[in-house]
Amino acid sequence: MGCRIIPGVGIACSRGTMGGKPVCCMPGCSRAAAHLCDWKLKGRKAGETCSAPICASHALEVGPEKHLCPAHAAAWANHPSNPKNQTNPETKT
């Protein structure tokens, strides 16, 4: 994880954990991660997930026990598999 500046406190350096739990991947967030990103990777990492540690505030829940980091939440917003992006033929006029 490296070092980061905590305003009004100083510089904190870690190996990416907070009391044994990973710290949220979002810059400036020091909360313990509650989830890992479940975005499925493609290419040479096919079969793996992003697994970025994310706190409850930054995680987007897209299904039961399925969470996305902010970067992949943005990709999901425009993804053709997202139910919000699918047109329902019954509602077309």
Q: Is residue 89 part of a domain?
A: no
Residues of the chain above pLDDT 70, percent: 74
Q: Is residue 90 part of a domain?
A: no
> Structural domain of residue 67, as residue ranges?
2-80
Q: Is residue 86 part of a domain?
A: no
Domain count, the chain: 1
10-14 and 17-18 beta bridge pairing: unpaired
**Amino acid found at 58:** H
Q: Is residue 87 part of a domain?
A: no
Q: What is the pTM of this model?
A: 0.70
| Interatomic CA distance for residues 68 and 74, integer angstroms | 9
Q: Is the pLDDT of residue 1 over 60?
A: no
DSSP string, 36-55: E--PBP-GGGTT-B---EE-
